Structure 1
C-alpha cells in the first residue's frame, strides 16, 4: 500500500498498472484510503506546483480506478474534473488494468461513463474499449455518438474507417437523433472524404440502408438547428442522396412545414421541391393554397416572389384553381413590401376573369390593404372605389417616459451591510448604483465602530485571496496598482494594506487621455482609493457624493445639508468625493440651494454656491459647444489639424493657445480646484482610440454616474466605442446609449451622433440599444430628428454606416408604433442620401449617396409617411421617382412621393 502511494506521489503513472495488478483485494482497499488522502492534500497545493500536481493526478486516476470496486465510484473517480488537467485520459493503461474485471461490471462502467455529459465525448476510446471487453450493447447517449464521429474522422477520415466499422449499421441512424449536430459535419462539405459524400456512397454500396438516411435527413431539416451550418450539412447530404419523386411525395407534409417555418435556406429548398410536385400535379390545390398562405407572409422577399411565380404557373396550367388560390394571393396586398403588393395585384388582375362574383367581391375588399401608390391601379382592376382602410387621425406610440427613482439609503444594519458587501465581491460585479450605497454604508459603519465592522468582514469574506494565511500575493503591491473595486476598501478596513501604500496610490494620477475607459475608470478607482486611505487615517461620517437618484444625480438641497453636517462635525470633505459630488449635483433651477450653500461659509460650500449659479471653474469638457466636428470618410475631424502620435505631447501645448486662445487660461484653475482624477476636465472632449488596450465589450455601469448631468460629454468620450461597432464591426460598444438617454441632462450633438452610429452597428444587440435610446429620447422630447437624420445621411454617404443595417434599425423602431418619430429622422436623412455621387469615370451615370440600399431606405420612409400622414418636400425625390425603370429605388421613390402628396392633402384644414 505504501509503495503504491509513494509511486503516485512521485507522479510515476506508467508504473502504476503493474503495481496495482500485483496487489490483493485487501491491499487495494487499504491503499484506497491513502490515495483519497493524497488527493485531498494535492487539492490544497499552491498554484506554482501545477506541473507536479498534474503528474500526481495522472497517476491518481489510474491507481484509484484499479483500487475501486464499485462501477459508480469508478465512473465518478474517472470523471473528476480536478484530476483531469488536459481533460483527456490515457485509455490504454486503464483498459489493461480493468481487463481482469467481470464483463457485466465493465458494461455497467461503460454505460455510466457514456452518461457523463462533460467527459463522455473525450472518453470515447475508453468507453469503446470497455464495450468490446464486456461485449455489451452500445450506449445510446449523444456524447457517445459525438465521440464515435470524432474517432471515425481521426482514423484517416470516415471514407477509410467506416467500411470496416462493426458498429456502422447501429450508429448511422443515431446521427440524426442527437440534440446537436456533430462538429465535423459542419466543415468541408465539398471534400469527397467528408461525411456528406461518404454516407451516400455507403448507401450505394449497401453497407447502410438508404431509406433511414433520407428520412433522417428530412426529419433533421424539419427540426432545424442552432447554427446555419447545421442545416447546410443536411442540405448537402440530401442533395447527394438525390431523393426520388416517390420519396419526395412521401414527405409532402414535411416540405410544407419547412417552407412555412424553416430557415431561409431550408425553406428555399423545400419550396423548390414543392414547385416540382405542383408542376407535376402531385401537389393538390388545397395543399398549395395552405403552403402559399404561410410562405407569402414570410419576411424574405425572395421566397415570396418565388411563391407568387409558382402560383402563377399553376394558374396558367389550371385556371379553375383561381377560386382557391387568388384569395390567398390577395392577402399579400397587406405585405410590408409595396413591390410584393404590386406583383400580387398583377397576378390577381391576370386571373380575375376566372372567378365568380362572390370571390371577386372578396378580392376587392382586400384592395384596402394596398399602399396608396397602388390604389389607382386597384380601381382599374376591380372597377370600384377602394376604401381608405378606415382612415383616422394618426396617434404616435412611444414608450413611457422613465420616471426618476430615488436611491435606497445605505444599509443601517451591520449584518445587512456585510451581506451586501460579500455578495458584490463574490459576484465580481462592476461598480453601479448598488456600490454607492454600500460604499457609503462602509464609511458610516467604520466611523462608528471600525473594529466591529472589520471582524464581521473577516468572517464573511474568509475565503478571499487577501485574507488567506499566508496571503497568496504581496497585498501592498497588489492593491497599490489595482483597486480590485470594493476589495481595496474592505482590505483597508481589516488593516491588511499599509497606510503608505494607500497614500501613494491615492496621489497617483487617475489616467491619461488614451481612451474613455481609463478616464472614467480612473474616477471610480480614485473614489475607492480615497475611501480606503481615509478609513485608516481619518474616517468620514458619510460620503458627500452618494447619489439621491438611481441615475446618479444628486439633489443640491441634500448636498447642502451634508455640507452643513460636515461643518457641525468639523470634518473636512475628501477632495475626490467632493469633486464627484459637484459633477453629480443638479445645477439648473436651484437658487434657494445656492443661497443656502453660500450661507454655510465653508470653502466647499462657497464652491458649491458658485457651481450652482454658474460662477464656478470653467470646465471645457462640459462645454457643449466644443463637441467633435462631423467626421469624414476616414474618421478624422474635418478641418482639424492631425497631430502625429509621437509629436502630440510636444505640439499640443504649443498649438492649443493658437487654436483655442479663449480656453488656454483655464487649465491651472482645474488643476488647482480638482484632484488628478478629474484633470481631463481641463480640455474639450477629444474621443480617440489610440492607446486603448481594452477589449471590445468592456463596460462599467458606473460610468454614466460620473457625469449624470452631462450625458453629451460622456457620449463624446464613449463615441469611439459605438463608432467601432459600425465601422469596424465590433460588438458591445453601444450598451451605454440607453442609460444616457434615460438619465438627466441635455441630449446634445454627441449623443445624437452616437445614436446614429449605433443604428448602423454590426451586431443586432447594439442596434437594439440604439433603437431603445432613440425611442426614449423621443418620449422625453429630447430627440432632434433633423439633427439625427443629418448625421445618418453623412455617415451613410461616407460609408461609415451600411444602409442595410440602418434599414433594420429604423424598421424595428417604426414597428413599435413610432412612425412619426422615424419619419422625422428619415425625412432629414433622405436629401443627402438622394444627392448623386459622381461615378469613377467609367460611367456617366451617377448613383445615390446610399448606393444600392436607397431602395430599402425609401421603403421604410414610405411606410412611415403613409401611416403618419407626413407632408414634406424631399429634395431629389421627384427626380428619382420620374427616372423610369423597374428598380426598387424608383418604385419606392414613387410610392413615397405619392404618400407625401396624399399627406399634404390630409393636412389641409
Structure 2
C-alpha cells in the first residue's frame, strides 16, 4: 500500500491515504481515506472514505465541518476530545457521523487498525464514546455500549456520560437498566451505570454484574465509610449474599484487621443497625446451604462466625446445620458439627437429628470429622443410654470406612451399648458388620455371635475393568453447516479426535467449495481475536491458524517459518510434541483450499490416534490417482500413527510398495520396521542440593531418543527430534498446566513407550511441584499400541504420586486398563515405586490414596502385587519412611481380602518392634493377615 499527497482542493491520489490543502472538500479516489485541510469556513478538516479505485469519497465540509473534526479525533484515538466535539453537532450531523463511525468500527473489526495494537484500542475507546453520543434511541445506545468488540480495559465511563449530554432522566434510567442486565458491561462499566442512575434519580435494579462492579468500586481503605454513605447498601449487600456465585472480590483472602475486610465492615454496620442482623444471618446460612467450592463459601462462613448466632437462632436452623455437616466442604462441615455438638451438650439436639447427622458425617472421608462424631455419639449415649436404638444403626456407617482404626472405634462403641438395643436392632447391626475389614472379623463374631452373616473365608475373585475396545473415528462432516456447528459447539481443544475430524472436514470442504466455506467462516466468526493481524506470533494456536490461512489473513513469511521451523536443541519434549501439531497446522493453513491438499493423510481411524495400515495405503493411492504429492508434515504424522504391529501391516506394506510412488515405498519400509522410533530412560545420580523450583526428578531425568537417520533426514525439521536430534540431557519442562496434553497422546499412538518417555519431565512437575494435568494422556497411552517398557511403568509410578487427586485418578485408570489387557508388570511397577518413595520423590500418603482407590475397584490382588514388590526396598530402612504406615494399611486391606501369604523382607522385624505408631500397628496387621492367608497365588502380571 502507498500514500499519496495532493495539494489541489484536497484531492487524493494513489492507492492509499491522501492529504491535501484546499477549500475544505476532500475527494478520495483510492481504496483508503482522504483527509483534506482547507481554508473554508472555520478552516475545518474534511474526511472522505473511498470504496475502491475510482470510487468517490464520502466527505462532509462546510456546514458539517464539526463531523470531520469528530471523525479525525476518533481515528486518532483521542477519546477525551470526543464529548466537546459532539456538543455543537445537531441531530442531522450526528446521524451523518454515525454512518461513518459504523464504517470505522467495521474496519477496526477487520484488523485494518491492529498495528500497533495500542492504536486499535484507543480507536475503540473513542468509537465507544462517539457512538454513544450519536445514537438517539435507548435500545441502539445499549447495544453499542454493550458491544464486546468496542469495550476495552481503558473504556472511560465519565467520558460516555459527558458524551450523552443532558439526556432525559427517563432515557438515562432506561439505558442504565438495559446495561445492568449485561453482566460484562455492568461489572467493568459500574461508573457509567452509577452516573446514569444518579443523573436519572432512579435506582437501577440490582443485578449480579452491577453488584460485582459496585463491590470492586468501593473496596478501598474507606470501605466502612463508603458503605455508610451509600443509601443502597442494604439492598446491594443482600443481593451480593444471595448471588448464585459468590462475587469474586469476596473470595479474596484479606486479613481481618484490614480496612478492606468486608466481613468486619458488614459486622460494623450490623452493630450500628444499618444492616438487618436477622436478614444477613439468614442470607449467609442460605448461601452455605447452597454449597460450592470452599473458596466461595469462605465469606458467608466468616460472616456467620462474626455474627455469633445465639442459642435460639441455632436451634431454629438445626436441619440446616445437619445438612451442612453431611454434605458441605470440610470448613463449613466442621463449623456445623461444632454448632450441633454445642446444642447436644445443652440437651437441645433431638436424637433423630443427631442420628441423621451421624449417618451423614460418618459417610465422609475426613478422619477428623469422623472421629469427632464418634466421640460426640459416645458422650450422648453415656448420658442417654436409651438413645442407643436410634444412634447405633447410624454408627455402623463407619464400618465401611477405609481407616481400620475408625472401624475399630465404631465397633467398640456399638459393643459398649449393644445391650441397650432391641433384638431387631441387634440383627440390623450384625448385618452391617459385614462391611468391617477382615481384621475385625474375630471381634465382630465375639460381639454378634451367630447373628453375624457371611462366611469367614469366602473365595476371592479379582475384579478388573473390561478390556477397552478400540473406538473407530467417525467420518468427517460433509456439509458446511455441520462443519460450522462443529467448530462452534464442540470443545475441540480438549478432544483430539474431534479436533482431527474437524481439521480433516475443513480441509475437504475447502477443497470442494472454498468460497462457500470462506463465507460461512466470516458469518460464523464476525469478530474474533484470531482475525487480528498480530495473532500467531508464536505457536499455531489450534484450528484458528488454518481458518486465518483460509481467509488470507496470514503473512506468507510467517507461514513459511511455521512450516519449516524445527525444535531447538534445548527444547523440552512437550515443545517437541506440540511442534509436530504446529507444523501440520501451518502446512494446512498454507495449502487449504488449493489442489495441493484435498484431504489429510494423518486423520486417525481409531480413538487412540492410530491409523489402520490398509486405510493409509488407500489414501496414498487416492493421492497418486489425483496427481497430488502428499504434504510432508501430513505424511510424516501419518507414518507415526500407522499401526505397524497390526496383523494387516504385512499385506499393507506389499500394497504400498506396489503403488510405485516415493510415499508408497516409504510407507512400505516404515511398516517393515518394528522399532522405527524408540527411546530409553535413565536417571542421574543425586549429587547436589535439589532445585527449589523443580525438585530432584526433573533435574535428573535423561531421555535418550535412539538414532534414526531416516527420521532425521527424510522427515520435516519439526520431526527431527524423533530421530535423535535432541541431546540426551535433563530437560526442564513447564507444560504441566498448559500446552496440549490431550493432543500429545495422539502424536505417537503406535510407540507408547517413547511417548511415555516424552511425558516424564512434565509428570515430574506434577510429582514434586504444583503443576497439574500432565496425566491427561495416560488413559489414551494405556489403550494405545506398542511395547510396554520401563517408561510406561515410570509414568504410572509418577502418576500414582502426583500432588493432584485427579492426576492420581487418571494414573489409577491407566494402571487398571493395562492390567486388564495383561500388559502390566506389577512387580516392575513396584520396583520403580520403591526407589521413588525411598528418595522422597513420591510421597507415601499420595501413593496410599491412589493404591486404595485402585483396590476399592476390586483389584486387591493387583495392588498387593505392586506393593509387595515395593515394600522390601522400604521396610528395612534404618530411619522409617514417613507416612509408610498409610501404605501398609492399604497393603493389609488387600491381603485380608485376596488371601496372599508371601511375607516381604523386613516386615517381621518392623512388626515385632515396640510402640503403637500407625507404622508399627499396620505392620502387625499386615503380618497377621499374611500368616492367616490362603494358599492362593497371585500372577506376576495382572
> What TM-score range do you get, normalising by the shorter chain?
0.7 to 0.9
* CA distance in structure 1 between the partners assigned to 2:728 and 2:689 by the alignment: 11
Given the superposition, is the C-alpha separation of residues 483 and 830 from structure 1 closer, same or farther in structure 2, using an over 3 Å criterion? Answer: same
Say which of 674, 678, 701 aligns to 1:622: 678
| Corresponding residue number in structure 1 for 2:247 | 182
Contact persistence 1:4–1:31 (CA under 8 A): no
| Corresponding residue number in structure 2 for 1:215 | 282
SS at match of 1:82: coil
Given the superposition, is the C-alpha separation of residues 770 and 26 from structure 1 closer, same or farther in structure 2, using an over 3 Å criterion? Answer: same
* CA distance in structure 2 between the partners assigned to 1:222 and 1:483 by the alignment: 45
| Corresponding residue number in structure 2 for 1:718 | 759
Say which of 379, 384, 391 aligns to 1:313: 379
Contact persistence 1:332–1:341 (CA under 8 A): yes
* CA distance in structure 2 between the partners assigned to 1:562 and 1:43 by the alignment: 40
Whether 1:333 aligns to 2:389 is: no
Given the superposition, is the C-alpha separation of residues 548 and 183 from structure 1 closer, same or farther in structure 2, using an over 3 Å criterion? Answer: closer
Whether 1:899 aligns to 2:940 is: no
Say which of 261, 269, 272 aligns to 1:205: 272
* CA distance in structure 1 between the partners assigned to 2:303 and 2:283 by the alignment: 11
Q: Which aligned pairs between 1:786-801 and structure 2 lie closer than 5 A?
A: 786-801=827-842
Deviations 1:715-735 (A, max 9, x none): 112221122221222122222
Say which of 334, 342, 350 aligns to 1:268: 334
Whether 1:85 aligns to 2:85 is: no
Contact persistence 2:176–2:197 (CA under 8 A): yes
* CA distance in structure 2 between the partners assigned to 1:573 and 1:717 by the alignment: 28
Whether 1:170 aligns to 2:235 is: yes
| Corresponding residue number in structure 2 for 1:733 | 774
Q: Which aligned pairs between 1:363-374 and structure 2 lie closer than 5 A?
A: 363-374=429-440
Contact persistence 1:369–1:389 (CA under 8 A): no
Deviations 1:254-273 (A, max 9, x none): 21111111111111111111
**Greater relative contact order (Cα < 8 A, sep 6+):** 1
SS at match of 1:272: helix
* CA distance in structure 2 between the partners assigned to 1:334 and 1:426 by the alignment: 43
Gaps of 5+ in 1: 466-470, 637-641, 839-845
| Corresponding residue number in structure 1 for 2:572 | 515
Root mean square deviation, CA, Å:
4.8
Contact persistence 1:511–1:677 (CA under 8 A): no
| Corresponding residue number in structure 2 for 1:868 | 898
Given the superposition, is the C-alpha separation of residues 18 and 826 from structure 1 closer, same or farther in structure 2, using an over 3 Å criterion? Answer: same
What is the deviation of 1:34?
5.3
* CA distance in structure 2 between the partners assigned to 1:342 and 1:713 by the alignment: 47
Contact persistence 2:288–2:332 (CA under 8 A): yes
Given the superposition, is the C-alpha separation of residues 561 and 58 from structure 1 closer, same or farther in structure 2, using an over 3 Å criterion? Answer: closer
TM-score normalised by structure 1 residue count: 0.79
Whether 1:72 aligns to 2:72 is: no
Whether 1:351 aligns to 2:384 is: no
Given the superposition, is the C-alpha separation of residues 607 and 378 from structure 1 closer, same or farther in structure 2, using an over 3 Å criterion? Answer: same
For these two proteins, the number of residue pairs brought into alignment is 853
| Corresponding residue number in structure 1 for 2:263 | 196
What is the deviation of 1:345?
1.6
Gaps of 5+ in 2: 1-62, 526-530, 691-695
| Corresponding residue number in structure 1 for 2:789 | 748
What is the deviation of 1:794?
1.8
| Corresponding residue number in structure 2 for 1:841 | none
Contact persistence 2:657–2:665 (CA under 8 A): yes
Given the superposition, is the C-alpha separation of residues 230 and 561 from structure 1 closer, same or farther in structure 2, using an over 3 Å criterion? Answer: closer
* CA distance in structure 2 between the partners assigned to 1:256 and 1:580 by the alignment: 57
| Corresponding residue number in structure 2 for 1:843 | none
* CA distance in structure 2 between the partners assigned to 1:86 and 1:494 by the alignment: 29
Say which of 180, 191, 196 aligns to 1:114: 180
* CA distance in structure 2 between the partners assigned to 1:499 and 1:29 by the alignment: 41
What is the deviation of 1:212?
2.0
Given the superposition, is the C-alpha separation of residues 472 and 131 from structure 1 closer, same or farther in structure 2, using an over 3 Å criterion? Answer: closer
* CA distance in structure 2 between the partners assigned to 1:377 and 1:221 by the alignment: 41
SS at match of 1:628: strand
| Corresponding residue number in structure 1 for 2:880 | 847
* CA distance in structure 2 between the partners assigned to 1:489 and 1:80 by the alignment: 27
Given the superposition, is the C-alpha separation of residues 889 and 19 from structure 1 closer, same or farther in structure 2, using an over 3 Å criterion? Answer: same
Contact persistence 2:361–2:369 (CA under 8 A): yes
What is the deviation of 1:513?
6.4
Q: Larger % of helix: which?
A: 1
Contact persistence 1:597–1:605 (CA under 8 A): yes
Contact persistence 1:785–1:821 (CA under 8 A): yes
Contact persistence 2:486–2:502 (CA under 8 A): no
Say which of 902, 906, 909 aligns to 1:879: 909
* CA distance in structure 2 between the partners assigned to 1:206 and 1:50 by the alignment: 51
* CA distance in structure 2 between the partners assigned to 1:563 and 1:62 by the alignment: 58
Given the superposition, is the C-alpha separation of residues 417 and 126 from structure 1 closer, same or farther in structure 2, using an over 3 Å criterion? Answer: closer
